[in-house]
Structure 1
Amino acid sequence: MRKPLAAALFALVIAGAGAVPAVAAPAPASGQSVSRVTGADRATAAPALAAVDFAGTVALSNCSGSVVRLPGSADGDPALVLSNGHCLETGFPSPGQVIVGQTSSRTFGLLNSAGTQVATLRANKVVYSTMTDTDVTIYQLTSTYAQIKSSYGINALNLSDTHPVAGTAIKVVSGYWKRIYSCNIDGFVYRLKEGNWTWKDSVRYTSACDTIGGTSGSPVIDTATGKVVAVNNTGNESGGRCTVNNPCEVDASGTITVRQGINYAEQTYQIPACFGAGNQLDLTRSGCTLPKP
């Protein structure tokens, strides 16, 4: 998991301590933002790239997230927040566990384009959460997209419904740290194994996205389209093999590869197919491949 989950936090959550803020580095000054753009990124950037900033991202108590809109969402629908399964306030979902419709009153700090918090949004339920095959939590808010736009002038981020492509320029936008990382999709991992959890078809970043603690749940944005294509979730910190905070890559033949210092995300293109009108989850819909309870 992406470093709000150091070994000590892992022990606390498993022991039932619940969500605990865990920080791997000092907090930035209020309103500060840091963007890491490599020379290669600058040299190859196209002039028509979508502007990527903090608008629509959120800060959780121990993670990052974003207000997201599905291709079929309407302005009057209850807004959704996307983060990681391992950021769930009640603790890590167990391998094989899928949580649907759990009551929640979690709050989120909504950021504007400059990274300034302009509002506190509140959830009324966990729509979906799992750490099986993917690492995602989706919250339903008490506000609609239209209400958020009218009150704060901020649009939700659009969730892509297509598989991203290797080589795509991306930005990982952390609402917790008010920090933006820039790199490319290096490739896709058949299976990513960390402790007792296994994720499928994970995104591997190039090394420039050296994400830190608190970036868990950050939206991964395609800089050409401005759409969310994945959710940031983990990285191999110390070269360990398939352990907590040290995921390993497993190919289709079972060969294990360890890439110390490389970070990963879970794709999100599968999510829209599992929602119907009104942003209502329906895991029985045709084309829905998310794990089911």
Structure 2
Amino acid sequence: MSKRLPGAMLAALLVLTFFAVPARATPARTTPTWVLPAQVLPAQTAPVDFTGIVALNNCSGSVVRTPTAQSSDRALVLTNGHCVKLLAADEVIVDQAASRTFTLLDSSGNGSLGTLRAERLLYATMSGTDAALYRLAATYAQVEGMGSRALELSPQHPAVGIDIRVVSGYWKRIYSCRADGFVHRLREADWTWNDSMRYTSACAVVGGTSGSPVVDVASGQVVGVNNTANESGGRCTMNNPCEVDQAGTVTVRHKIGYAQQTYQMVPCLPGGGRLDLYAPGCGLARP
């Protein structure tokens, strides 16, 4: 899985190549690291910046909205389910009280526009996808008043080969690559994710990039949320996801990263900061 880092260890992590993630107290589970070597990024070819990007204490994230959201709606923050905690394979969290804070970055990524605070954990799961949505105390209009704006979630399945950016608020780094393909089942340890996006090798994501939005350069919309990479060439183990096709054939792609698509969230968000898992077209797992 990918790239959740404990905030208290930041000073130490800046000098390490690999990072450990505190796992849930389960004897059979190995402590994950979810990291890959850092890489120098090529020059930007499109104006994707840090607008709408937030930093968590252990992950990355973004302020997101659906195409029909209103400025008066409570704003939402998208990150990974495993950035909340390591959830059980079939666990789904819905509408829990929350007080988590997020640092809202300026468009350059070099400064902070202020702190955003969650009022609810609207949704979190690692079942079928690896995603979490926090609802903020602030509205979209208030986020804009701070000098930023939400990124729009695409309601469409992305295409193979599109130019993408993975934007990490934790590291203030933008990765540039393409969508290399889509995986029928992506399996890692206890978890299985459906129709995952595979990156080309240029997006060599590192610890702390968990929850980063994957932005389609052509549209500027969010099409995925970064969550994992195969660290050491292992087969379907912690830190080493494997691809499983419809015939059950397993493929391992060493040092390749993956994201979970987000278009299936859009029908689940009818507006007003609400979640409706029974709405037509909603593709998120239910409790």
Structure 1: where are the runs of 5+ without partners? 28-33
Distance 1:24 1:247 in 2: 12
Q: Aligned pairs, how many?
A: 270
Match of 1:83 among 72, 75, 79: 79
Letter in structure 2 aligned against 1:142:
A
Distance 1:26 1:264 in 2: 15
Q: CA deviation at 1:284?
A: 1.1
**Residue 9 of structure 1 aligns to a residue in which SS?**
coil
Distance 1:78 1:173 in 2: 23
Check if 1:136 corresponds to 2:131. yes
1:223-273 deviations in Å (ceiling 9; x for gaps): 001000000000000000000100000000000000001000000000010
1:34-81 deviations in Å (ceiling 9; x for gaps): 97128xxx8xx6xxx5x2001110000100000001112100000000
- The correspondence of residues 183-262 of structure 1 with structure 2, limited to 5 A, is 183-262=177-256
Distance 1:252 1:65 in 2: 31
Question: 2:36·2:229 contact (CA, 8 Å) conserved in 1?
Answer: no
Q: CA deviation at 1:13?
A: 2.5
Q: CA deviation at 1:4?
A: 2.5
Q: Does the C-alpha gap of structure 1 residues 208 and 58 become closer, same or farther in structure 2, counting only changes over 3 Å?
A: same
1:163-213 deviations in Å (ceiling 9; x for gaps): 000000000000000000000000000000000000000000000000000
Check if 1:180 corresponds to 2:174. yes
Letter in structure 2 aligned against 1:212:
V
- The correspondence of residues 1-293 of structure 1 with structure 2, limited to 5 A, is 1-4=1-4, 8-10=20-22, 12-14=23-25, 36-37=41-42, 49=46, 51-88=47-84, 91-115=85-109, 116-150=111-145, 152-293=146-287
User: More deviation in 273-282 or 224-233?
Assistant: 273-282
Structure 2: where are the runs of 5+ without partners? 6-17
Letter in structure 1 aligned against 2:120:
K
1:91-131 deviations in Å (ceiling 9; x for gaps): 21211111000111000000011111111100011101000
Question: 1:238·1:261 contact (CA, 8 Å) conserved in 2?
Answer: yes
Letter in structure 1 aligned against 2:41:
R
Superposition RMSD in Å: 2.3
Distance 2:19 2:149 in 1: 36
Question: 1:248·1:259 contact (CA, 8 Å) conserved in 2?
Answer: yes
Question: 1:35·1:179 contact (CA, 8 Å) conserved in 2?
Answer: no
Q: Percent identity?
A: 56
User: More deviation in 1-10 or 213-222?
Assistant: 1-10
Q: CA deviation at 1:286?
A: 1.1
Q: Does the C-alpha gap of structure 1 residues 200 and 285 become closer, same or farther in structure 2, counting only changes over 3 Å?
A: same
Letter in structure 1 aligned against 2:247:
S
Q: Does the C-alpha gap of structure 1 residues 75 and 141 become closer, same or farther in structure 2, counting only changes over 3 Å?
A: same
1:122-179 deviations in Å (ceiling 9; x for gaps): 00111010000000000000000001111x1211111101000000000000000000
Q: Does the C-alpha gap of structure 1 residues 282 and 9 become closer, same or farther in structure 2, counting only changes over 3 Å?
A: same
